[in-house]
Amino acid sequence: MPSVIPEYRLHPVNRIELRLVNETWPFAKANKAEIASHWQALTAQNSSLFNGNILLMVRGGLTGDLFQADLIEVDYASFITWRDWGWCDETVHDCYGSAIVVSSDGALVMGRMGLHTVNAGKIYPPGGSLTREDLLYGGAVDLTASIARELVEETGLNASEAQAGGFYMAAFDQRIAIGQVLRFAEQADALAAQTRAHIAAEELPELSEAVIIRTMADMDPDLMPPHALAFSSALLENASVAR
């Protein structure tokens, strides 16, 4: 099977500076009625959706090995409408963290999204949108804490039990994923078993199952978003990236 060429551009990141700014999103104000209608249609199909708040990037980017960004708080209904409309407002970016879970036998452990989620069936590295939960005193946003929180919520795995590696930015259109390599002492089968046990214990788990990616042949471009393909390709083709 030929190698999967990821669409995302992958860059190492050594420093990350994120902050919340007090600004509004013109797109959300200008399309308030259409957003409400779109959200109503989505929740009519899936009543488990929740219109919480997330942080979107309005300015910033990568300079050398430093990633800086200003973030604003928006409601999830506006965000998902923007996404479903093809990322139509190019003044903002969806900036989020991902846990690149690497097992002691060199495999990656990811998760398949549950049927009740907006990304049902897709295979992702654990992670998610930045929220107010990730705020520090003074308005700084802690990406590392966000990655650790999403990892334990989705899989039951604790980032504190892993050897933390480097960060990598994968960027494509209006999406910017920043992944942190987390090397665990357990083999992939054991990590997947822990994840499955966590899923079974949850009343409404975000994931439906654990997925092990051992080789390029295990990568599925139809189910894995571009940043998942990019992180997987980099680690599987170049083992030194994971160290």
Please report the pLDDT score of residue 241 as a whole number.
Answer: 47
Please report the pLDDT score of residue 99 as a whole number.
Answer: 98
What whole-number distance in Å separates Cα of residue 236 and Cα of residue 146?
25
In a domain, 38, yes or no: yes
Domain that holds residue 79: 9-237
Please report the pLDDT score of residue 7 as a whole number.
Answer: 59
In a domain, 63, yes or no: yes
Which positions of the chain have pLDDT values less than 50? 1-5, 240-243
DSSP letters for the chain:
-PPP--SSEEEEESEEEEEE-----HHHHHTHHHHHHHHHHHHHH-TT----EEEEEEEEEEETTEEEEEEEEEEHHHHHHHHHTTS--TT-BEEEEEEEEE-TTS-EEEEEEPTTSTTTT-EE-SEEE--GGGB-GGGEE-HHHHHHHHHHHHH---GGGSEEEEEEEEEETTEEEEEEEEE-SS-HHHHHHHHHHHHHH-SS-SEEEEEEE-SGGG--TTTS-HHHHHHHHHHHH-GGGG-
Please report the pLDDT score of residue 118 as a whole number.
Answer: 86
**Single-letter code of the amino acid located at 94:** D
Please report the pLDDT score of residue 236 as a whole number.
Answer: 87
Cα–Cα distances in angstroms (integers) from residue 172 to residues 8, 79, 87, 94, 236, in the given order: 5, 17, 11, 10, 20
**Single-letter code of the amino acid located at 170:** A
In a domain, 111, yes or no: yes
What whole-number distance in Å separates Cα of residue 67 and Cα of residue 93?
14
What whole-number distance in Å separates Cα of residue 179 and Cα of residue 127?
9
Number of domains comprising the chain = 1
Question: Are 143 and 127 spatial neighbours (Cβ–Cβ below 8 Å)?
Answer: no
In a domain, 122, yes or no: yes
In a domain, 242, yes or no: no
CATH code of the domain in which 98 resides: 3.90.79.10
What whole-number distance in Å separates Cα of residue 236 and Cα of residue 214?
8
In a domain, 1, yes or no: no
What whole-number distance in Å separates Cα of residue 220 and Cα of residue 4?
8
Using one digit for the tens of pLDDT, what is the confidence trace for 118-147?
889 999 999 999 999 999 989 999 999 999
Using one digit for the tens of pLDDT, what is the confidence trace for 43-59?
999 998 999 999 999 99
Of 234, 237, 215, nearest to 177 (Cα)? 234
Of 2, 9, 198, nearest to 101 (Cα)? 198
Question: Are 162 and 184 spatial neighbours (Cβ–Cβ below 8 Å)?
Answer: yes
In a domain, 4, yes or no: no
In a domain, 2, yes or no: no
